[in-house]
A and B are shown apart, each in its own frame.
Chain A
């Protein structure tokens, strides 16, 4: 886990030949098309099935029929899934590039734990009961832990091992706190056990408007980091020789990842594997160039998240399986398959 990416993943940041670029651009369009289909499915499928005509009516000719109300409700859920999915995918891709660890994820760096600890604090000690209230706590918890991991793990020359150790240490300490609170306070336990599985079901328009500014900022920042992160992938010395500002790139990457994960986690709870899986899969067909990995990750991660949400609604009718559980059950085996497929030297 704590290894540098293999040489063939680091090399090649030169412009790809035109045909290859065309293929990648076409692939991106294809990905967008898939995303649109999954988003439509997410609106149409649920406890009440809607036809495409009803979906169309609800989206564009809303006249307040029962179908339109259902569409409006599922729309906010779908939009949140789109935003959170893209955020997790981008954050995962940035973290993996930053730590040069193809299997890094927000959980490993303690960001989920930070958000969780802040939420339980909000519920227990500040009496916050609504999602729109603890969004802010979760966000600042994630940001604080991100900063702390950054300070402890790497302000002077981050290495993958240091970052991972710092993240693990902070997570462990915070989970101890979390469990102590849940043991002493049954009300906190009652709420936390639903929040910690990760779900889109409580999405509302106000959730979306609250996390949107953070997600947009983080997205822009992440996309802007593609070039400097590409340079850093060639190794610190080469990157320095090429004129890259290592510390600034690292700090901004950590900031982008924290903002994205913090906001997504605040809104949906900790969702594992999306940020880990999608960039990993994407890299297998785009190659190591982050200018392609980031857009692909931003489009395909919501496909995974929304797809998992739809599956969760289908398999457990009439209730539902929370999306965080579905992504873990789907993502786990794929992750293990990927680990098995890699050659020993690459692990």
Chain B
């Protein structure tokens, strides 16, 4: 690790430390996500070769291809990329703030909170897709706020945050179960698909808000990430080093909640991306610390690949992408446990 660090200095005295391995991983992941995106655009009832996809994206395709690519499949892929990126970054933030690999939005109950909001809309009214998304956004934000307020006690400490999150999550899960028993079977079936997380039928209406939000939040997070890295050494050390711990934590948590909630509003609570993307990224970069940018890219790549698998793997039956991420994530964690066990670690 020591040999792969390079310092970049500008004449003005600014300096930036670059981990060569991490930079390589980020670049490779971006390439992987884009390649998967192109493949995904080419996949469907009307297959399009990758070369034609690229040509169409460059504006030189024939009208039929242009309609399919630009109107039908490109927005879906963009939503997938943005949702995956938001979940990956949100997960990395939560895991860093809670200092716990299990401190992901899924475990904390943000997904459940968003689900509750969406379920209220689906079950009590029969809302449109946009109303469901709005309900999910409100539910996710309210849950995030509740967790923060309940975990606050002269600062929000990591383990308390996770435990309060688990408590809130259990309450909201019960409410969700109750709403499902109250609904009629048609609404319940619709709700279950939403609860699994799906990219089916996503169009430009979902792309723009996501894009706007990530364009604001990602730079904001990355600028403030320096303090986060120091906070891994503990609150007291960070204070001593001049980090305004609680302010940084609040700011980053708000950002993480917004990222997760908006991703969930667009695609439903896609499980496991927020939990595994940071872990996978960390294993690839082999660097300690939050690994924010690698996690973001990993999330985007993961979700698009999972969406491609969900369209191809089950024959005529198309399952929502959340099923794939759930199963893949579980299998990945099992593999991790088995290999760690064999290697005698943990």
Could you write out 5 A-B pairs with CB less than 8 Å apart? A107-B170, A183-B196, A322-B181, A336-B164, A336-B167
The B interface, classified by DSSP as helix, strand, loop or mixed, is: helix
Q: Give the residue name and chain of the B residue nearest to A162 (CB).
A: B346
**Of B23-31, B59-67, B184-192, B258-266, the one touching chain A:** B184-192
B168 lies within 8 A of A336 (CB)? yes
A166 lies within 8 A of B337 (CB)? yes
A197 lies within 8 A of B174 (CB)? yes
**Of A72-80, A235-243, A295-303, A326-334, the one touching chain B:** A326-334
Q: A1-B162, A166-B337, A190-B185 are in contact. List 18 more A-B contacts (CB 8 A).
A: A152-B334, A156-B341, A165-B333, A165-B336, A168-B102, A172-B329, A172-B333, A179-B323, A180-B323, A182-B192, A190-B188, A196-B177, A197-B174, A272-B170, A272-B174, A332-B168, A336-B164, A339-B164
Q: Give the residue name and chain of the A residue nearest to B158 (CB).
A: A347
Can you list, as one digit per residue, whether each of A254-282 has a CB less than 8 Å from chain B (1) or not (0)?
00000000000000000011000000000
Chain B residues proximal to chain A, CB less than 8 Å: 100, 102, 107, 150-151, 153, 157-160, 162-164, 166-168, 170-171, 173-175, 177-178, 180-181, 185, 188-189, 192-193, 195-196, 271-272, 275, 317, 319-320, 322-327, 329-331, 333-334, 336-338, 341, 346
A254 CB to closest chain B CB (Å) equals 16
Residues of A with C-beta under 8 A to B336: 165, 169
Can you list, as one digit per residue, whether each of A180-207 has a CB less than 8 Å from chain B (1) or not (0)?
1011101001100110111000000000
Q: How many residues on the A side are at the interface (Cβ–Cβ under 8 A)?
A: 55
**Cα of A180 to Cα of B188 in the assembled complex, Å:** 14
A46 CB to closest chain B CB (Å) equals 19
Can you list, as one digit per residue, whether each of A195-228 has a CB less than 8 Å from chain B (1) or not (0)?
0111000000000000000000000000000000
Residues of B with C-beta under 8 A to A107: 170
B180 CB to closest chain A CB (Å) equals 4
Chain A residues proximal to chain B, CB less than 8 Å: 1-3, 103, 107, 152-153, 156, 159, 161-162, 164-166, 168-177, 179-180, 182-184, 186, 189-190, 193-194, 196-198, 272-273, 321-322, 324-325, 327-329, 331-333, 335-336, 339-340, 344, 347
The 6 closest A-B pairs by CB, nearest first: A173-B330, A176-B326, A169-B333, A328-B174, A332-B171, A347-B159
B319 lies within 8 A of A322 (CB)? no
B177 CB to closest chain A CB (Å) equals 4
Residues of B with C-beta under 8 A to A347: 157-160, 163
Residues of B with C-beta under 8 A to A169: 330, 333-334, 336-337
Q: Give the residue name and chain of the A residue nearest to B153 (CB).
A: A340
**Cα of A325 to Cα of B182 in the assembled complex, Å:** 13
